[in-house]
Structure 1
Amino acid sequence: MVVDDNPYFLNAARCLLAHQDIAVVGVARNSDQALRLAEQLRPDVALVDIDLGVESGLELAGRMQRETGPTPLSVILISSHAEEEYADLIEASPAVGFLCKTLLSGDAVRTLLAGVDDGHRDDPVNGPPGR
C-alpha cells in the first residue's frame, strides 16, 4: 500500500512497483483513508510519505502499528527530502526504514524488508549501518 497526498506520485509509484513485481493493493491520500484501507486490505507493507500535507506520516506510521490488527504492519517511510533531514525522527519511529522517493524501486523495498527479517534496519543503497 502507498500513502501520499500527491495523486501523481501515487499513480507513478503504483505503476513503477507493479512493473517490478510488487503488488500495490491500495493507495491512500490521508491518514483516515490509509487506516481504513490497511484494516480492510491487510497489506504486508505500507509506504508512507513523511509529509502528508497537514498530516504527519510519522504519526501515521505509529497509528498503523497500533491500530491495524493483531499483526503489526511494516511501514517504510518515504520522502522527496533527504533522509538526513529526518534521521532522528525516522530512527525513533516504528518504521522499518526510509526510502527517498527518487530511489523508490521494488528492489529497494525488498532490501529494506529483508533487513527486518535478519534483524537489521538496512539502507537499500549503502547497506546496514556500520558496514
Structure 2
Amino acid sequence: MTKPTVLVAAAALIDVDGRVLICQRPKGKQLAGLWEFPGGKVEPGETPEQCLIRELHEELDIRVAQACLAPFVFASHSYESFHLLMPLYLLRRWDGLVTAKEHEALKWVKPDQLADYPMPPADLPLIAWLRDLL
C-alpha cells in the first residue's frame, strides 16, 4: 500500500544566545503535548518558504523575509497513514516578538538540551544536526 507524501516546512529560530525555539503542540491535536519546530503543511501552489512566512505569522505573530530563511536539512519519516517530508530552515532574523498564538507553550532551548524534550519521531533526527551546527 502506498502512503501519500505530506510536505511540511519547519523553521529552527535561533536567538542571539544560540538557543532554538521549540513549540508545544496544543491539546486536542495529533501528538498533543510533544515539542516541535514551528511550521506547517505546505498548501497546494505554495513553496516551502511561502508556507513558513505564512505559518510563522499565524503561529508566532512574527514577520519573516524569504531571504532570511536558510535551507538546512530535511527529515523523511513514515507515519502509519502517510509519509512526512519536512525541510528545516534556519532563521536568525525576524520582525516582531515571538508569541504563542496556537501552541500550548514556547521554549528557547540550547541545542544540547533539545533531546530532553519529547518530540514527534520526524523531528528527532534534526536534533543532532542542530547540535553539531550550533
Provide the TM-score with structure 2 as the length reference: 0.29
Report which structure shows greater RCO (CA 8 Å, sep ≥6).
2
Identify, as 1 or 2, the structure richer in helix.
1
TM-score, normalised with respect to structure 1:
0.29
Rg (Cα) greater in structure: 2
